[in-house]
Copies of this chain bind each other. A is one copy, B any other.
Amino acid sequence: MVVQLFAYEQVKAFIKTRITSGVWKPGDAVPSETALMAQFGISRMTVNRALRELVTEGMVTRIQGSGTRVAELHRISSRLTIRDIKDEVEERGHLHASRVLLVATEKATLPLAKMLGLRSGSKVFHTILVHLENGIPIQHEDRYVNPLAAPDFLQTDFNRSTPAHHLLTRAPLTDASYQIEACLPGKEIARQLHIKASEACLAITRRTVSGAHVASLARLVYPGTRYSFAGQFQA
């Protein structure tokens, strides 16, 4: 039960209902700040805040000197967050555990070195683990880490903490890019995840940057039957 709407929220609600109900169509002009000031009897700063927030929500577009218009198509978009798998599992009230398959220092092949911003043959850390939710495998994690970004990475006890957690706390994140795709797991990963090699999987490939260094390159594979992303959009 909403008891009290702030002035800027009232302005937002006023405009939103006119857009979502179809009264104002994409491309139509939205009243100017001056007009809304008068209509609501509030100051311009307050109107301005309402409109700025509508811009970041993708409902309207503004051009200085020209005016405010209803955005062309309401984007179906939402914040997609990629989080530490351990947090995610525990937030569901379930038990998280890992099976550590590899902890090693290797020499980077040329393509890998390029992706990490290193010279071919440089030392890189390599870990492979399987994450379990209540004992059931849900993620296969294959990760390379740049020693310059996280020198003590291999000292972590990966049965207690995750690679992602170590990196997030030691090497503050400045950039990341990811790709989500569907794939088949391959024999080895299928075996570790206890699925058939013919079962479709979701794969996320992620590259993170911390300051001057590329910190990490990871490929996370999820069984298609046990994992999916869900999102919500609200006007």
Contact A232 B74 (CB under 8 A): no
Q: A175-B234, A211-B20 are in contact. Are A81 and B77 (CB under 8 A)?
A: yes
Q: Report the count of interface residues on A (CB-CB < 8 A).
A: 57
| Chain B positions within 8 Å of A174 at CB level | 20, 234-235
Contacts A76-B82, A173-B235: A182 and B211 contacting too (C-beta < 8 A)?
no
Residues of B within 8 A of A176 (CB): 76, 232-233
Binary contact track A70-98/B, C-beta < 8 Å → 1, others 0: 00011111111111100100000000000
Residues of chain B within 8 A of A235, CB atoms compared: 172-175
Contact of A182 among B21, B80, B172, B224 (CB under 8 A): B224
Contact with B along A165-181 (1 / 0, CB 8 A): 00011011111111111
A229 to B231, alpha carbons, bound, how many Å? 14
Complex Cα gap A75–B195 (Å): 30
Interface flags for A201-235 (1: CB within 8 Å of B; 0: not) read: 11000101011000000000010100111111111
Nearest first, the 3 A-B pairs at minimum CB distance are: A182-B224, A80-B80, A181-B228
